[in-house]
Each structure stands twice: as C-alpha cells, then as structure tokens.
Amino acid sequence: MRIAVLGTGQLARMMALEGIAMGVEFSFLKTPGEDSRCVEHLGCVVEASAGDSAAQIYALLGKPDVVTTEKEGVSVVDYEQFLPYCAVSPPAKAVWLTQNRLREKNFLNDQGVPTAAYKPADTLAQVTSAAQALGFPVIVKTQENGYDGKGQWWLDSVADITKMHGDEASGPWLLEKVVPFEREVSVVAARSANGEVAVYPISENVHKNGILLTSFVPVVQISASQAAEVNAHITRIMQELEYVGVLSMECFVTAQGIVANELAPRVHNSGHWTQSAMPASQFEQHVRAILNWPLAPTQMTGAAGMLNLLGVAVEPSAVLKPRHALHWYGKAVRPGRKVGHINITAPTPEALREQLKQLESDVYA
Ligand code: AMP
C-alpha cells in the first residue's frame, strides 16, 4: 500500500510516521521552494516540473493507491488530476469548499450548521455598508488564503476601516459579526469510504497572537447536548460530502449554543493530543480511513493536552516529565514557527490544566 501526500510539512510527517509503522509506504509532492525537511527519509519527495502530465507525476509518486493532502491550499485541479489513477481522499469538493470562506459559510448554513452572521464585500465601500448592515463590531477576513489570524481586521466602528487602507487589493473579503464566545473548541472526526464514522472528544483551544498555543480535553464546561450538537454537525457534513479521511471543525461555544467558525479537510493541530491519549492518533485514523480499514475507537478516559512549540527549541532532559511526549518536526527554528509540540496526559482535567500551565511557563520562560 502506498499513500502520496500533497505537502511536506509536519502533518505529512506525522501521517507518514504512523503509516510506516503499519507497513504503508509514502511519497510526497512538494511545490517549488517548499521546505521538505519534515519528511526527509520518510519516502520519496517529488517536485513536479511545469508541463508534467498527471500520469507522469503519478508514476513519479510511485503509483500510490491513494493521494491525500496535508493542507487545504492545494490547487483543486492538481489534486483532482489523480482521479483517473487512484483514490483521492478527502474529496476535492471538501478542499474546494474550505479554500474560500464565503463558500464555506454558505455550505455550513445550507447544512443547518449555525455560523456568525456574515456578508461578502469586494470594495472598501461595500465593507462599510456590510459592516453597518451586520452591526459593529465585525471582523473582516480575506475570503481566500487567510490562516492563523492573517488577513483579518477587527472593526469597532466605521472609522476603523482606515485600518484596511493599504490593503485594498487583499479582497474580496468576508465580514463576520463578532461572536461573543465563552470558549473556542474543535472537533476532529474521521469517515471511511464504507461510511463508518468516528468522532474524537471535543477539545478546547487557546490561541496566542492568532496562533494555536494549547489544546486540551475534556472540555468540562461543554454540556452533553452541546457536544452532541457538534458531533451531529460534523457527522452530517461528512455524510453530505461523502467525505473520506479526517475532517476538523473549529467552533465557538456561546451562551446561545454552538457556532461553527471553519472546517479543515485534514488532520488538525488541535487534534495532536490524540497521539498520546487515544488507541489511534488522528494521523493513524486518517491513514485507516483513506485505506478503508476499520476505524479505531475514540472514547477516552482521563485528560490530555498539547502545547505547541512556537519558535522555541526545548532541551528534553530539562523540560520533559514522565507523562510528556515530545514531537519535534525537524524544521529550522524561526520566531513564531510551529517547530514541535508536547503532549501531556493526566488522570483528571484539573491535574492536566496545572501541568499544562507549568509546562507553558517552563517552555516560554
Ligand atoms: P480564523 O482565521 O477564522 O480561524 O480566525 C482566527 C481567530 O479569530 C479565531 O480563532 C477567533 O479567536 C477569532 N475570530 C474569528 N472569527 C471570529 C468571530 N466571528 N467572532 C469572534 N472571534 C472570531
């Protein structure tokens, strides 16, 4: 069995590390200039040349059984070109939907999944009128290519639109009414081609400067009915898309209920804790799903969490405690860059929070 991954980052790395343990071979397709250190020695890294046909790239990738992706920012045409030769999972439609925030929000609403109120805008004049129609405060996001909080402006009033001056060319945008959330959570789930679905417990996520810093489970403040709502939403979305692989959904928990923020058609940073706390991590689960193997169970006891290593290297002997697991991606350390993470397991949510806080201060002291 061979899986080809579009992308050569840490998500591809962790997928391959799990798959290789199960006897699966990997190859990786990189874009020109893409750093492939994360997947060094894990399989053949292919860089297509302009003019290579799909058949040629498929052959260079070693004729995989499945092509998958570690990122939503792939050209849908480049992704779909493998369909005559092998399975392409998750489906290209899911990738296409999540590449554009307007398409994604329309889809979520069509599926009955609540989102922030939103309006599109192509010009700054339209930003003004859309913001007035929604009511301030609003967040303006580029419809495409925004990630980790980039390409976003928080507007409290019409006067704040001056913040966007100089960025007029970054549109079209999507305006969203600010959601007064209690916490940010996410859910990671998998569906295999035969329709089997497995949903991991919901995690709470804390961001710093727009980048995920920690995730932890269980979310003790979320009610059973809210958790069931999140599970029902992601299950319905996967069924609707005939999704195969791991899908992630970020949500806000509000006094009025669950509000979905965005989907990611892939394994997700907020699901890394599954490596330490689950019979199968999200990476193994993705491999199992796209190869149509039985999915692993997703019930857990105890508590688990993850701290992202953002632009910091750690000295394992100084920082790691017995229930800590270090995952290092093999990248050069640059400020703010995700270079690794540490997973923690603990018997109770309280003990977990305490240890996560301690670890954060040890790492970022
Ligand atoms: P995003 O790029 O959509 O994931 O947004 C990045 C972060 O901005 C989220 O994790 C939230 O903290 C915040 N955010 C995004 N959209 C909203 C919203 N409509 N209301 C409140 N906060 C938001």
Q: Which CATH number characterizes residue 26's domain?
A: 3.40.50.20
Task: Look at the chain and report how many structural domains it folds into.
Answer: 3
- Burial of 245 by CB count in 10 Å (0-12 exposed, 13-18 middle, 19+ buried)? buried
Same-domain status, 210 and 143? no
What's the confidence (pLDDT) of residue 168?
86
Of all residues in the chain, the percent with pLDDT exceeding 90 is 93
Percentage with pLDDT > 70 across the chain? 99
User: Nearest to residue 105, comparing CAs of 163, 47, 48, 176?
Assistant: 176
Q: Which of these ranges, 63-72, 80-89, 132-141, 167-176, has the smallest mean pLDDT? A: 167-176
Based on the fold, state whether residues 251 and 331 are members of the same structural domain: yes
Atom of ligand 1 nearest to the CA of 179: 20
Atom 18 of ligand 1, residue of closest alpha carbon: 178
How close is the Cα of 32 to the center of ligand 1, in Å?
31
pLDDT in tens, 46-101: 998 888 999 999 999 999 999 999 999 999 999 999 999 999 999 999 999 999 99
Pocket test for ligand 1, best of 261, 268, 270, 308 (most atoms within 8 A of CB): 261
User: Containing domain of residue 62, as a range?
Assistant: 2-88
- Residue 261 CA to residue 273 CA, distance in Å, equals 21
Q: What is the tens place of the pLDDT at every residue in 88-110?
A: 999 999 999 999 999 999 999 99
Q: Which of 109, 138, 139 to mutate to test the pocket of ligand 1 (most atoms within 8 A of CB)?
A: 139
208 CA distance to ligand 1 middle (Å): 12
Between the CA of 81 and the centroid of ligand 1 the distance, in Å, is 33
What is the Å distance from ligand 1's center to 13 Cα? 27
The pLDDT-based confidence of 147 (bands split at 50, 70, 90) is low
**Residue 102 C-alpha to ligand 1 middle, in angstroms?**
14
Query: Which atom of ligand 1 sits closest to the CA of residue 150?
Result: 2
Within this chain, do residues 302 and 239 fall inside the same structural domain, yes or no? yes
| Predicted pLDDT of residue 219 | 95
Are residue 153 and residue 225 in the same domain, yes or no? no
Residues 245-276 pLDDT 10s: 999 999 999 999 999 999 999 999 999 999 99
Token reading at 297: 């169970």
Does any domain span residue 101?
no
Q: Give nearest CA residue, ligand 1 atom 1.
A: 149
- Cis check: omega of the bond before 64, within 30 degrees of 0: no
Q: Are residues 253 and 200 in the same domain?
A: yes
Q: Tell me the mean pLDDT in the region 357-365.
A: 95
Position 94 in a domain:
no
Pocket of ligand 1 (CB under 6 A): 116, 139, 146, 149, 176, 178-179, 184, 207, 210, 261-262
- Whether 267 and 248 have beta carbons less than 8 Å apart is answered as yes
Confidence of residue 230 (pLDDT cuts 50, 70, 90): very high
- The pLDDT value recorded for residue 37 is 97
Whether the model pTM is above 0.85 = yes
Question: Is residue 202 in a domain?
Answer: yes
Q: Could you tell me if 140 and 31 lie in one domain?
A: no
Residue 270 Cα to ligand 1 middle (Å): 15
Q: What is the pLDDT of residue 140?
A: 96
Ligand 1 mean position, distance from CA 116 (Å): 10
Q: What is the mean pLDDT of residues 3-8?
A: 98
pLDDT for 182 equals 96
Do 157 and 191 fall within a single domain? no
Residue 93 forms part of a structural domain: no
DSSP labels for 92-144? HHHHHHHTSHHHHHHHHHHTT--B--EEEESSHHHHHHHHHHH-SSEEEEESS
Q: What angle do CA 31, 34, 36 make, to 5 degrees?
A: 110
Q: With bands split at pLDDT 50, 70 and 90, how would you rate the model's confidence at 210?
A: confident
- What is the arrangement of strands in the sheet containing 173-177, beginning at the earlier edge strand? 118-121, 173-177, 138-142, 152-155
CATH of the domain at 348: 3.30.470.20
Average pLDDT for the chain:
96
Split at pLDDT 50, 70, 90, the class of 149 is low
Same-domain status, 208 and 160: no
pLDDT exceeds 90 at position 232: yes
Cα 313 to middle of ligand 1, angstroms = 28
Q: Residue 209's pLDDT is what? A: 87
